[in-house]
Structure 1
Amino acid sequence: MRISTVTMYEQSINSLNRQQGDFLKVGQQIATGRRVVNPSDDPQAASRAVAVSQAKAVTQQYADSRISARNTLAQTESVLNSVGDAITSAKTLLVQAASDTLSDADRQSVASELRGVYETLIGQANATDGNGRYLFGGYRDDAPPFARTESGDGRAAVINYQGDENSRAQRIDASREMSVTENGKTIFQSVPSGAGFVARAERDDGTRNEGSLTFTSGPSRVDPSAQGFGESLTLRFEADGDGFRLKVADPADPANDLYDEAYVPGGTVAVAGVSITLQGVPADGDQVQVRPANAPEANQDLFKSLKDAIDVLEMDQQGTAENRALFRNTINTVMRELDNNLDNVLTVRASVGARLNELDVVDSVAGNRMLNYEQTLSDLIDLDYAQAISEYSLRQVGLQAAQKAFVDIKSMSLFDYLR
């Protein structure tokens, strides 16, 4: 069979192009560090690599989300730490103010310091996360969650919560959504479960008592199994000849009394599993409200507690025994409420700390997952440099041989054999 010169040229060029293509492909693999440069190099590996890359990208998005969540929680924890310090300072000031050696002017000075603590707490309650969003407004984070209404008489402002009662949540992993903020009601207007009882010396309509009655200790739990335990109680004082009778209605049947005894100043009253020590002389109709700290009618508002304390500290106490009784009862009540508020803040802070720890755990798990993805991706598409360099040298020799063969064939001619 005759082989034409054109055929030899075509075969030589095809061989040269093939060798050059293989050589360039290996060179491209070495340059990129990837065995699969184009999907056609290994369709199955390329397909799996796309799926692994997508999973890796999703994992990275969750990692970025955790960074944002950690920043917000860290800011929340920092603010709660400051709030706890402020409540402790307020308690210290009230202990100082409760001393009988202080004059009204001295208590005015303490009130000024307490007002500073009060303003600090308002600022902390309206803290932002650095991006203009308020930390403690729930999902209503575009406006200050706590608004103040000035009383107009020089007294401490009334603070109202305007946020919602939700906590802003953020997804930190495929199967975990985490609350990254706390609403202000949970922090500043709540008490922890099991906070005990709080007493307030006031009548049903919220007006002050008219006598010099004070409670010097309690209320304390003494018998959780007693009838009426855990219910709100009203200790009523009714004139009885030259003295007074102390009555406590049954919460389950207000027409009947759980307690009906002659009042003895300085005595301890135990009713419905709760004891309280009373001192002083009441007026007819005076009352002491004893409520579970988490009862709806009990005060759980940190700002109201401080406002009550500031108001009585600025009051003239040297004038009447009634004013002194109001001061003593208010300070005792506020101290118990501040204890509950501090416990609540510490509970919320512990919850925030637990979530920060959980983020560390999720980060560790996600880090291991990311390493697995990277290893799988490397196995699928990364290049074995030792093998690639060896093949590169082989392809180079093949290309050089093809070039030499083409040069030799190109120079062949029948005229070389004619004499």
Structure 2
Amino acid sequence: MRISSAYAFETSLANLQRRQSQLSEAQEQLTSGKRVRKASDDPAAAAAAERALAANARAEAHLSALNASRNAMQLTEGALGDAGDLMQRARELMVSAGNGTYGDSERQSLAEALRGIRNDLLAVANRSDGAGRYLFGGQGSDTPPLRDAAGGVVYDGSPGQLNAAAGEVTPLSIDGAGVFLRAPDPANAGGTISAFDAMDTAISELMTPGRPSTAVAQTVATAIERMGAVQGNFSGWRARAGEALNRADGIESRLSQTKLDAQRDRSTAEDLDMVEAISDFQGKQTGYDAALKTYSMVQRMSLFDYMKT
């Protein structure tokens, strides 16, 4: 069988070009550290990498929402602690008001101090998280959720709680009406009392001059009992905020593991085994060198070269 020099030349050239392309591909993989750089490299692996990338993005979004919830609950827990401290101070003032030696002027001074605490409590109830949301705004409120009205403090927020989109229930706010306006009424089973009504009633009665000592004693006893119920309600809601923070820690752990799994799956699908890749590159480089030498030899296989001799 005769093989023309042109055919041998074309064959060696095609082999050289193929080897050069393979070497270039291997070099690009080593440079990028990726085995799969486009879908055509390995469609199945590319699809797996995309799924892992999407899972990682979802985990990051959920973690971001979770951090917002944790920040809100930390602020809420602190606000409820402040509310409890204010109510404790109010109870201490009421205990002082029960002093039998006090006259109308002393009780009125205590009432003024109690009014200041009451206003501070309203400010706590309308505290924001710094991101435009009110801690006690329930499911949402564009304005401070609690406000003074003719009949006392009213709730303008939406009852319930606003949750973050963290994949699990993670609150961004809680129901301010339940916290400040619906404490269990110790004098009426199943009934509720407002923290502000309890304080307003005590303030009004302490400001009234000329009341007999028995009426004053009844005012003090009733106010202390109601404020104690309100303070207990604050403690209960504060415990809920603490539970939300503990639950957030568990959710964060699960989301972090999900993110780690997604990153590992993506790496498995598209990353390069460097040891294997270096060995493969060296083999392809050897093959390219051999093809180059072969091409050089074929170039010299010409009739004119023989005629020179």
TM-score where L is the length of structure 1: 0.69
- Residue number in structure 1 paired with 2:67: 67
| 1:303 is the counterpart of 2:196 | yes
- Residue number in structure 1 paired with 2:215: 326
- Residue number in structure 2 paired with 1:358: 247
Of 164, 169, 174, the residue aligned with 1:177 is: 169
| 1:126 is the counterpart of 2:126 | yes
Flag the structure with larger Rg.
1
SS of residue matched to 2:79: helix
- Residue number in structure 1 paired with 2:270: 381
Q: Describe the superposition over 1:361-405 as per-residue Cα deviations: whole angstroms up to 9, x where unpaired.
A: 111122222222222222222111111111111211222222222
The one-letter amino acid of 1:392's match is F
Bigger fraction of residues in strand: 1
Note the 1:160-239 alignment, pairs <5 A. 160-173=154-167, 176-192=168-184, 197-198=186-187
Q: Which runs of 5+ in 1 are unaligned?
A: 152-156, 199-290
User: Residues 135 and 141 of structure 1 are in contact (CA less than 8 Å); yes or no, is this contact kept in structure 2?
Assistant: no
| 1:397 is the counterpart of 2:286 | yes
Q: Describe the superposition over 1:2-59 as per-residue Cα deviations: whole angstroms up to 9, x where unpaired.
A: 4334323322221122111111111111111112122222222222222222222222
User: Residues 125 and 184 of structure 1 are in contact (CA less than 8 Å); yes or no, is this contact kept in structure 2?
Assistant: yes
Distance 2:306 2:63 in 1: 78
- Of structures 1 and 2, the one scoring higher in RCO (CA 8 A, sep 6+) is 2
SS of residue matched to 2:164: strand
- Residue number in structure 1 paired with 2:6: 6
Distance 1:172 1:84 in 2: 30
Distance 1:77 1:394 in 2: 64
SS of residue matched to 2:223: helix
| 1:346 is the counterpart of 2:239 | no
SS of residue matched to 1:169: coil
Distance 1:132 1:78 in 2: 18
Distance change in 2, residues 1:140/1:42 (3 Å): closer
TM-score where L is the length of structure 2: 0.92
Mean CA deviation greater in 16-25 or 362-371: 362-371
Distance change in 2, residues 1:400/1:58 (3 Å): same
Note the 1:282-293 alignment, pairs <5 A. 291-292=188-189
The one-letter amino acid of 1:190's match is R
Of 249, 260, 277, the residue aligned with 1:371 is: 260
- Residue number in structure 2 paired with 1:159: 153
Distance 2:59 2:211 in 1: 70
SS of residue matched to 1:160: strand
Report % sequence identity.
31
Q: CA RMSD in A?
A: 1.9
